[in-house]
Each structure stands twice: as structure tokens, then as C-alpha cells.
Chains A and B, each alone.
Chain A
Amino acid sequence: PGPSRLARLPLARVKALVKADPDVTVASQEAVFVLARAAELFVETISKDAYVYAQQGKRKTLQRKDLDNAIEAIDEFAFLE
């Protein structure tokens, strides 16, 4: 475990997302790998940030509203609004 681990998200699925962008001509395999890994880091980050709200609500289950709160409160997540 740790930052050096390889991606668990299947590269083929990430590549499908990259292909969906009409402005992208071609992406290297390395670029797809880094995107996959970044998406994993993103999932970790947003989960932890949302969990803060579940804790405030004294809940042990992360709910949709916790996510909405995190997205609204945190600048880096503004692109999700």
C-alpha cells in the first residue's frame, strides 16, 4: 500500500473516458495510467472530506448529503457543482 502502488482502476475504462473528449487526438498509455491513479487519489480525498460531515452528524454511514456538503465547502471540488 502507499503512493507507489499501481492503479486498481482498469485502464481500459479510464481510456474510454479520455476518448470521450472530442478535443483529444491521442493519449499515451502513461497518461492514462496517471489519470487512473489520480482518480483513485481523488476518490480517497473526497471520501475523507465527506466523512467529516458524517462525523459531525454522529453517523457511521457516509450519505449523499455528506458529499454534497463537502463539494459545496471545498474549493477544489467546485468543478463538480
Chain B
Amino acid sequence: MAERPEDLNLPNAVITRIIKEALPDGVNISKEARSAISRAASVFVLYATSCANNFAMKGKRKMLNAGDVLSAMEEMEFQRFVTPLKESLEVYRREQKGKKEARKDKDKKADSEEQDKSREEDNDDDDERIEEEEPNEEEEVDN
């Protein structure tokens, strides 16, 4: 069933929880306000996606990556989101890496996939790896 983009809602319970945590204790939200915020969040994602996609296209890439989304935030005048987003992304990457290593066969570890990436060990502290994507982590979004 094809849905209109603006009908794709984010889960009410999660939206409500985020709103409540942002506001002081004892503050309530009307159903209409909650609904409007949820809808606004969907529109935000659609707009950010479109904006991020422009950056991907500028870079002659078909795959939209995390760096494109961060660029979109700046473009949309949400620069203040960039630092917390980068921090969250680092946590996410560590977690994904942990999952991946747990899945790897002990035999395959010897093959040293890491050599293909030519990551110099003296750049250990350099976390500016926004452009680096694990090919097998990406999920195809067929349009």
C-alpha cells in the first residue's frame, strides 16, 4: 500500500516521551499538539533527507551517508544539532563495530579485512571518519 509521505508517522508513544522529557515536570501536552509535533517531525525528516540528498548528488554519490545528513543540518540552520549528532554517531559506530566483531568467524579474522582499509595506526585518535562506510552495513533502499 503506497502511503503519502506526510502520512508516515513516527510512533506516538516515543514522540510523547521525548516531548515530556524535554519539558518540566507537571506539564501536559494536548493530543492535538502531540499530533502536530509528530507530523512536524516527519516533515523534518523528509526535508532533511531531500537536503542531504543534494549533498550526495553534489559529491556524485548515489548513497546518502551520515556526512550528508550533518551537512543538511547546517544548511537547514540546525547547526546546534551537529555536535550532539556527531557524538551519537560515534557511540552508534562503536556499537555496530562491536556487533560486527561478534558475528565474525574466528577463522575469518585471520584474513584481516582491516588491511584493505589501509587505516594507519598512528591515526588512532583521528575520529573524522564521517565518509567511511562499511559496505556490508548498508541496506539497499530501492526506489
Residues of A within 8 A of B (CB): 3-10, 13-31, 33-35, 37-48, 50-51, 54, 60-64, 66-68, 71, 75-77, 79-80
Contact = CB atoms under 8 A, between A and B. Distances in A.
B28 A35 contact: no
Contacts of B14: 8-10
Interface string B84-106: 11011111110110000000000
Interface of B: 3, 5, 8-11, 14-15, 17-19, 21-23, 26-30, 32-33, 36-37, 40-50, 52-53, 62-66, 68-70, 73, 76-78, 81, 83-85, 87-93, 95-96, 133, 137-143
A48 B78 CA distance: 15
B91 A4 contact: yes
A40 B48 CA distance: 13
B81 A13 contact: no
A18 B22 contact: no
Contacts of B65: 27-28, 30-31
A37 B33 contact: no
Given A21-B50, A30-B65, A67-B36, A16 B77 contact: no
